[in-house]
Amino acid sequence: MKLKIIVCLFATMLISAVLTPFVRKLAFKIGAEDDPNKRRMNKIPMPTIGGLAIFAAYTFTTMFLLRGQMPAAQLWGMFGGEVIIIATGMIDDIYELRPRQKVLGITLAALFVFFFGHVRMTLLTVPIFGSFHLGWLSLPITWIWILAITNAVNLIDGLDGLATGIAIIALTTMGITGMFFLNVGNTYVSIMIFTLVTACIGFLPYNFFPARIYLGDTGSLFIGFMIAVFSLNGLKNATFVTVIIPVIILGVPITDTVYAILRRLLNRQPISHADKHHLHHRLMQMGLTHRQTVLVIYGIAMIFSFISLLYPISNLWGTILLTVATLIGLELFVESIGLVGKNRQPLLNWIKKIVKGTTSKNNH
């Protein structure tokens, strides 16, 4: 059985790699391409909808090669949401949807997996306070979770191979955590996760700098949506640890999204306003090359993944200290690269004042 799964995963990677050149030709034929402009990094028209190859390879394996390895009802329920999200991404790549229209597509996909795939958060356990049945709140909380994570992955897709590589790192960590640490009893979810990982690996050589095809919203929305759905499979009976682990694993896209919203609010700009101050933009403005920037962010994503693996083996106080230390370290990094703005460094300025005050006392 294990050998069959390994063979199927390897086949998924090959299918994705073989399909990508055909998807590239299709993108040009249907007009799914990014033309160079001030906001984009590409200098020539680039085909998008690359995520279609990942979706096709993943779907073929889960629906046919691994048939019988997972509950059919949930598999088909998830598949319906996947089709909706892929359709939303393809329409956006060809015609460019408005933010509200994109949110509508994500919402429809979220509702489908909630009602037909039974993917939802139903119970929340908080240390000291106990457990709470979410009841009717299950629907809005599930929707917000899927919407937030899907958009976070979508926003990080700004450089060649960036979103694909981060997804591979995040999904691999989720698969390992679900299989060896959380013991949620859903081994099939880890198999599905690793299937998506291998589909992304097959696509990455075409997407890494210099890219021959982009993920497009077809790919970034699909991958973000699947990460959100997979994480919810381990959050049906959520605890602080099971909630925080996927958040930490997705530290790069979530950080970029949260600070982008904060930056726009502080600058009194609409939240949907596009700018060139995302994490990858700031690193390149500091002098890193395209490839170096991607590799640095891969490294940051791996640090987040390593931190997430410490949570399952930590006690309550260890979890609290680990979270506080992570937040402080993250804030120092964000301020040092000026992600919110060069003049907005409250923690660094506070530390500088303390150091300056201590130095003055020692001199006297």
Any idea where the domains of the chain sit in the sequence? 2-313
The CA angle 269-275-278, to the nearest 5 degrees, is: 115
The pLDDT assigned to 262 comes to 86
List the one residue out of 15, 48, 104 whose CA is nearest residue 218: 48
Q: Which pTM does this prediction carry?
A: 0.90
Q: Strand, helix or coil at 351?
A: helix
The pLDDT assigned to 128 comes to 63
| Segments of the chain with pLDDT less than 70 | 1, 36-43, 125-130, 181-186, 234-240, 272, 274, 357-364
Ranges assigned E (strand) in the chain:
33-34, 46-47, 123-126, 130-133, 237-239
The pLDDT assigned to 1 comes to 64
The pLDDT assigned to 72 comes to 80
**Please, are residues 189 and 230 in contact by the beta-carbon 8 Å criterion?**
yes
The pLDDT assigned to 364 comes to 56
b vs e for 4-37, b when ≥16 Cβ sit within 10 Å of the residue's Cβ? Answer: ebeebbebbbebbbebbeebbeebeeeebbbeee
The pLDDT assigned to 198 comes to 97
The pLDDT assigned to 278 comes to 83
The pLDDT assigned to 238 comes to 61
Which two structure tokens, joined as six digits, stand for 155? 């926003």
